[in-house]
Amino acid sequence: MIRNFFKTAWRNIVRSPLYSGINMLGLTIGLAVGMMILLWVQDETSFDAFHHKAATLYRVNSPVGMGASRQIWDFTQAPVAPFAVREIPGVVGAVRFKRNWLYSVYSYQDKLFDKPAAMFADSNFLQVLDFQLLKGNVREPWPNEQSVLITASTAKKYFGADDPMGKVILGDHKAPFVVSGVLADFPDNSSISADMLFPLSIYKKVYDGTGFWKSMDGDWGNFGFMTILEVQPGVSTAEIGRKLIGLQMREAPHIKVSVAENAYQLQPLPTIHLRQADGSTSQLQSVRIFFLIAVLILLIASINYVNLSTARAMLRAREVGVRKIIGAAKGQLFAQFVVETAIFYAISLVLAFGLIYLLIPAYNSMSEKHFQLDIGAVSLWRVVGLTGLGVLVCSSVYPALLLSSFEPLRAIKGLLSRGTGSGFLRRALVTTQFVFSVGLIIGTLVIGRQLRFIRERDPGYDRSQVFTFWGRGMQEHSAAVLDQLRKDPAIEAVATATTNIVTIDNTNGGADWDGKTPNTMLVMNTIRIDERFLPMMKVKMAAGSNFSGSPLDSAHFILNETAVRLAGISNPVGKRFQLDDVNGTIVGVVKDFNFASLHEAVGPLILQYVRSGPMLYVKTKGRKTGQAIAAVSGLYERYNPGIPFDYSFLDQRYERLYRTDLRMGSLFQVFAGIAIFLSCLGLFGLATYTAQVRTREIGIRKVLGASVSSIVLLLSGDFLRLVLLAIVIAGPVAGWGMSRWSQDFVYRISIGWWVFAVAGAAALVLALLTIGWQAVRAALANPVKALRSE
């Protein structure tokens, strides 16, 4: 019997190559694309879950500032970890990581390392986290402060087949570090990743005991460490946060904080990839959107199968009637049609694997992942299993029930109406498909406009033809260097600062001014600039004046409008302002400009004067960019021998702020296009079938004088009405969804009525193009031939 099921199923597939091809194409594309999206979703939601202690690991987040300036950072001060382990019950372990910026370049013999990601870490990090040490001592990864751990890929890249253990790597060509261990490459789904790891004890030497903060573990002002705590199950993480801020208030009473606003927050480690420290969930929303798209694509593919299967039910009515008369039970007929669907699914699955194999390189490039089609991977078959079960249930149960329920005698006599029992469902499914399609068209339009808006919006400064770089050894000769660069015919202007204007992330909460409310702290971003910076960047003044370049500027401050507003300073020019130990005067106010992503509102900013900052800004003339870069590079190499010239354009840096958004937008457009194509494919199949089964009716109408246009309208009218209904349903739902999505941007577009009009018109045009060809073809057919064939 089973053999007969398979034989009959195969005959039915071969007998109708057009409809079988449409069904198979839809299922293949749906399965391939759906599985690729679900693999991406699975990867995104699996971050940091591979640690066997993941359920007890928490990243410590730091609420900083009070009132309107309160922010939550995902970094802490160095003392948080040792104090938590030593003084807070329930904290059983802690580990810290910090980016290593002490060296500009690393080398081995004549090989320069290509921008390796270097970090400091506590020596117990392998006891707390599940990173694998391939070579070396887990208990003592660094025998001394002249040791370094490198990853396996780094070892292979720079040492080839040689054993890296004991090899000497130089920092800035002078500081030797001996390779004491080789780590397995950090997993792609790890929030912590590096190419080289150094002992954190090296960084402790930055403190010589003479500064305001005497030691690293006593510095409650430097928020530069990623801190992970291991907490006993059942212990209140909120209580740990309150105790931590209490410890800070005891150890550093001069820092104005409160338990209510500044208690540390412990965030489960597996959630930090999708949820920012401040609670924003833009990445999580992206995952949810793509999961929804995957489900929609699989549903559309299933709907196509259901629609064509039920629409063509009459063609198999006599087969079902004969089978019932000779004794086939309803269960056997049900099984027959489920087997047919399973065969369709199996063939489509094999083809989908082949399609994934072809598309995976391009998909990895777009998604910035490293997926591989590993047929033996459990994660792949988990997705395949869940997808297959869903598709089989959606696409086989109803057609099987419908086809197995025909009355045998009526079926054999041809007394069943075409599409028996399936007309309403089929219309509902077509409408559902186009609700999805119209919604995706609206989403594509809104996302595209929002991403274009943030790329093209004026941030308040001129970033065109400006590149930046760290001067390093040039700073000691800044006067001669700047003078030489300004004389170059390819360079329009040169200025210096202490950080990049695109992302000013230096902050300070030690400001004071006349009229400040006692026991409050306003956290402000800070940047030091020279007198040429604001004119070169075309930052506009709202009041007062720019720095003059005189020694008096060391006690002068310029604030942005937001800082003035939050501080509550009226008529700020000439008012007293103090930052740390500099007590000076406000000489100017600049108009607000965006110095962070447009996901964030403009924050308060303090600009201080520096005669020559470590970061140089070079604005080139016209098409002389290459000439200017060559001139700067030659000068740089003179003062920084052996250190590669590394520069970046502000435009490129600005684009990188939105790289994730742009990647998500591109993927959304591609997947939305595929979903729309599948909807049109299903509609094409139904239109083809409708024209086929109404051949005799069309012939009679033409003989009686019906025009081609009236027949086209007859065949396409029902479908177009369903598309119009889909537009009415999809508009409000998609509008609400896109409104929720855009709330993640502080600066966002308004969703005008025309978006819905364009989406609706696009859906109608697509439907007309899909249906129209078959309708016109049927209307132009010879009616005599149609009637004779009937």
pLDDT at 421 over 50: no
Question: Residues 123-151: what's their mean pLDDT?
Answer: 95
Residue-wise pLDDT for 275-321, tens only, equals: 988 887 878 888 888 888 888 888 888 887 777 766 665 556 666 66
Query: What torsion, rounded to 10 degrees, do the Cα atoms 450, 455, 456, 462 define?
Result: 150
Question: Residues 179-199: what's their mean pLDDT?
Answer: 95
**Residue 262, φ and ψ in degrees, nearest 5:** -120, 10
Q: What is the DSSP letter of 551?
A: G
Residue tagged 């079926």 (tokens): 411
For position 16, what pLDDT does the model report? 67
> How far is Cα 148 from Cα 150, in angstroms, rounded to an integer?
7
AA identity, residue 305: Y
Residue-wise pLDDT for 455-512, tens only, equals: 888 899 999 999 999 998 898 898 999 999 999 999 999 999 999 999 998 888 888 8
- How big is the chain, counted in residues? 790
Higher confidence at residue 638 or residue 20? Answer: 638
**Residue 559, φ and ψ in degrees, nearest 5:** -115, 155
DSSP characters over 486-522 = HT-TTEEEEEEESS-GGG---EE--EEETTPPTT---
Band of pLDDT at residue 783, cut at 50, 70 and 90 = low
- By 3-state DSSP, what share of the chain in percent is helix, strand and coil, each rounded to 5? 55, 15, 30
> How far is Cα 508 from Cα 582, in angstroms, rounded to an integer?
13
pLDDT at 54 over 90: yes
> How far is Cα 105 from Cα 28, in angstroms, rounded to an integer?
49
Question: Residues 565-588: what's their mean pLDDT?
Answer: 92
For position 420, what pLDDT does the model report? 40
Q: Is the pTM of this model over 0.85?
A: no
Residue-wise pLDDT for 384-395, tens only, equals: 777 667 666 766
Higher confidence at residue 529 or residue 222? Answer: 529
Q: Residue 223, class by beta-carbon neighbours within 10 Å (0-12 exposed, 13-18 middle, 19+ buried)?
A: middle
Band of pLDDT at residue 410, cut at 50, 70 and 90 = low
AA identity, residue 483: D
Residue-wise pLDDT for 691-742, tens only, equals: 656 666 666 666 666 666 666 676 677 778 888 888 999 889 988 888 888 8
> How far is Cα 390 from Cα 202, in angstroms, rounded to an integer?
55
AA identity, residue 125: F
Beta strand spans in 654-698 (E): none
**Residue 786 in contact with residue 699, Cβ under 8 Å?**
yes
**Residue 9, φ and ψ in degrees, nearest 5:** -60, -45
Contacts of residue 405, defined as CB under 8 A and 6 or more positions apart, other chains included, come to: 330, 421
